[in-house]
Chain A
Amino acid sequence: MKKILPWFIVFLLFFLPGVIQAQSQIIPEDSIGFRDFLIVQKEVPGLSYRYVLGEKSISDELASDSIYQFSKTDTGYVSRLISDFDLAERLENRLVADSLDYQLVYFVFSNLSSHESTYEYLANLIRNGDYQVKFDEDGPKEDLVSLASKAPYSPLQKFKLRFFSDYQLFGVTLVIFFFFLVALGMIVFMLVMKARKNKRENLLKEYERIIIDPLTSLLFEKELKEIQEMDQNEIEFYFPQTLLSKSLYKDVLVERIIGLNKRMKGEFKDKLKSLYKKLELDKNSMDLLRNKKWDRVTMGLVQINEMDLVEALPEVKKFTNSSNFHIRSQAVAILLNLSDQVDLTFLRDQTFPISLWQQMNYLRIIRFASLQKDLKLEVLFDSQNSSIRIFGYKLVRMLGRMDLIGVLSSIAGGVAEEEKIEILETYSTLGAHMEVDFINECLHAQNPNLNLAAAKAASVLGNSESAEILFGLIKSETSFGNKLHYLKSLYELDREKFDQATLDNSSNEILKIKDHILDPMLQNV
């Protein structure tokens, strides 16, 4: 704003003088024109005029004329101050006729003024709007009625358009009208929508109530085979076609079946899946995959996943590298969940980085799948995508895959420091004592985050060399927080060394940390 303001003022200063100039040009600059202009104006506030005669003597008749009211001066005569220029102009005729030496002088507020000053004064008055200029109005020379009869008929069209010709007013009125309509529309829409939403909510409750009875009776009264053998008439008995044709009813039905499927186990799950297909809701789910809207596609994928629609897998595979986060996540989740042999190569080949949210969802599925299937997690270590590699190391830790420690060990030296931190945590969690050399190597690294991760791992897996390195790090470390971490690790690893590090040290900081570590109330802090 500060920068714009000077420019704006410059802009105004550039254009405004033009406007002002235009106003002052109303007054003619030449003396004859100026006089004519004053004649038309007659009286102008603050302006007056006086005749000054250079004659030593004038006729008695003129001297006593009450219109002029001449007074004698050292140099001649001066008239009274005349405020009407038209009158002053008419009085000039007599002076011309008498061949007198005279001069008309201007007064502004009774002060003698030059022609230029008078001009300037008048221009100012007009510019400021303090004086309304009069124009010579030539009155009709003929009778108005006869003049009007000569004019062609026009039905006041010009007058009617005056509103439209004031563009600003017209514009503002339009905006107001638009706002009024939109605001009114909004309020009406709000009320209508509220009524509809309440109606929809009531309908949802009603459908849920209608659906729950047939669903329960089908689940608890019929065997799986009976459900599979149900014909159209039987289905219609439970779920009438009139209701099934309503999309809201169908949505509630799908939601209900999926909700029950999530909570139930064993044969009940099979019954629900069978029913889902009997009601042809699976086709509905498959159709959603062809929808253009990402949320509908994702909805289809969710339904396929929840209802284990294995036949949809080839279609689902197409979405694993979709640019849409939600579609991609769901597609990967389905493949992990439904594939007979969980081949993680499709995950390895993902080009998009995976977020913690995706990792969390995949972990849940992979954890479940790992109980039944043999998962080749090591393929993830070969991914070009570092987020996938990191997820792979996490999976080793979270699934307790001790068998992969050797593979990790072979690659640990050559990976980025961020990945090393993850590997260290995996070693620490799984108790990989044989990797102590790698831990010690990381304790020597330049990256403080890697040092801290290594110190944490050393507290569980370290050896005497680790204790020595930690001792050195404590001495050289300047950060209070890091010192606390190193001392904690040393305390866990080697009490003797810890005592050595704290007893020999008179630093107030170290003593504070020691008290903290030894306080049983702060064991996990």
Chain B
Amino acid sequence: MYSFLFYLILEFLGLMFLILSFSVIVIYLILMILSAFEMRDYIRKNRFADYGDIITSPIAPGVSILAPAFNEGQNIVQNAQSLLSLHYGKFEVIIINDGSKDDSLDKLIQAFELEKTNYAYNAEIETKPIKAIYRSRNMSYRRLTVIDKENGGKADALNAGINIADLEILACIDVDCILSSESISRMVRPFMEETNKKVIAVGGVIGIANNCDVVNGTVTTYRVPETQLGKFQVIEYFRAFLMGRMAWSRINGLMLISGAFGFFRKDLVRAVGGYFPKTVGEDMELIVRMRRYMDEQKIPHKVGFVPDPLCWTEVPEDEQILSRQRNRWMRGTIETLQLHQAMQLNPKYGILGMISFPFWSIFEKSAPILEASGVIYTLILLAIGDFSAVYFIALLAMMYLLSLLVSSFSVLYEQIAFNHYKDKKDLQKLIWMIITEPILVHPKIVFWGVMGHIDFIKGKGGWGIMIRSGFKNAEEKKKLNPQVTSS
């Protein structure tokens, strides 16, 4: 009887892995096609966009740039100066010193002649206590506001910024990101263009600055990073931004825009209660909650995506740091999906509930678990002698070639759309990475993903019961006991 059950389970798993493998192939082929159409249209549309007017036009919306900083003393002044020199008419820069232990605040005060103000801070969104709000009498720095607050994490710091932001659009960025001078005008365009649907947020591409030359806040010469993990992340970012997000943007199914460079409509962010500080995936959670809110209010909406390279960041090339980042990302994904589980396969939430959410649940959240299970399954088959080498190799070859196909496609995209890596050697390095990545790097990524699951189960960093039971509706976050929220 037990033997029968064992073989039944094996049969079932075998069938499941076969179905999954084919689903992965079909879905990635669809994503490739969708992103190709989207990229083609974007390039065509962009030819006719004149960004000259937007800088001075009274019709263009104002942008509040929110940059949380924690122990960024080394570069905080240069970073703030770089933000203040962006080419745009109506914008303000709010730097939130999130309880830094270093001299970040002193450096800012000194460099920008800041003074404490009597700012009437209203915690519309609950945050950790604010120590002071600074501004400068020097007119050159009139756009700058600095909030000094107790440490509460990135989401909490952003919430403090949202509370005092004065303009229509919020640009939430990482303070150490390098922004192109025309980044605001390009990112604001989707908010200004749409008439049939309300654009609630716009995401941008994050470029990898490792090993590149940066002059006046713009990457002038692109070079592929030297390390294997650096090169892998170049390919991965192409896949994620140029292929994945372009495709999801095509069907208005975007569920994530990068926390390092995202633009949001302020009124809506406030309406849903800002960032949720008790999740490590605050960027994804906010987008999902905003979309959920719009669907619950039955307001047609859209999350835009701009594929132009406008923001660059240094990615971790150290294995330990990268593993922590991936662990955090995985926990963030699980937490977000858990918090909004009511949307799963719910037609009320349209594309998001019926397509994006299930995709993320199966192919993003569960992918490391499924892949690890696949390995264990193969080992069991080997042990009991029921292993078909031909099928195993065939399936493995199929998945390897799919990876090759998807990666080469995304690099091809970059070459067609931007052609940044001009040196042939760089392209050769990328191709070599495409070929070796599934063998050398992917297993590590899977392992870190599995560790993320384990840490989530252990309750690391998250907000246990609340996250497991999830939000009943998008506005529930606002109704949470403020003391609990800020604990």
Question: Could you tell me which A residues sit within 8 Å of B by CB distance?
Answer: 1, 3, 9, 12, 16, 20, 124, 127-130, 168-169, 172-173, 175-176, 179-180, 182-183, 186-187, 189-191, 193-194, 197-198, 201, 294-295, 298-299, 302, 325-326, 330, 352-357, 359-361, 363-364, 387, 394, 398, 480-481, 484, 512-513, 515-516, 518-519, 521-522, 524-525
Contact = CB atoms under 8 A, between A and B. Distances in A.
A357 B7 CA distance: 63
B409 A186 contact: yes
Contact of B12 (A12, A175, A364): A12
Contacts of A194: 415, 419, 424, 427
B444 interface: no
Given A359-B59, A361-B50, A522-B118, A190 B44 contact: no
A198 B422 contact: yes
Nearest to B419: A197
Given A168-B391, A169-B390, 12 more contacts: A1-B362, A16-B11, A124-B4, A179-B402, A183-B408, A189-B412, A194-B415, A295-B44, A299-B47, A357-B193, A512-B120, A516-B117
B54 interface: yes
Interface of B: 3-4, 7-8, 11-12, 25, 44-45, 47-48, 50, 53-54, 57-61, 115, 117-120, 122, 124, 135-137, 142, 145, 166, 189, 191-196, 345, 358, 361-362, 386, 390-391, 394-395, 397-398, 401-402, 404-405, 408-409, 411-412, 415-416, 419, 422, 424, 427, 431
Given A330-B48, A353-B195, A360-B54, A1 B358 contact: yes
A173 B394 CA distance: 7
9 contacts: A179-B401, A326-B45, A360-B57, A363-B58, A363-B59, A480-B122, A512-B120, A513-B120, A525-B119
Nearest to B434: A187
B135 A298 contact: no
B48 A298 contact: yes
B118 A515 contact: yes
Contacts of A512: 118, 120
Given A190-B411, A360-B57, A516-B120, A176 B8 contact: no
* Most chain A C-beta atoms within 10 Å of own C-beta, residue among B57, B118, B145: B118
B192 A355 contact: yes
A517 to B, nearest CB: 8
A179 B22 CA distance: 13
A374 to B, nearest CB: 23
A190 B427 contact: yes
Contacts of A325: 193
A357 B166 contact: no
B124 A480 contact: yes
A169 B394 contact: yes
Contacts of A352: 195
Nearest to B194: A355
B59 A197 contact: no
A349 B196 CA distance: 18
A163 B117 CA distance: 81
A425 B99 CA distance: 40
A16 B390 contact: no
Nearest to A182: B405
Contacts of A299: 47-48
Contact of B401 (A180, A326, A481): A180
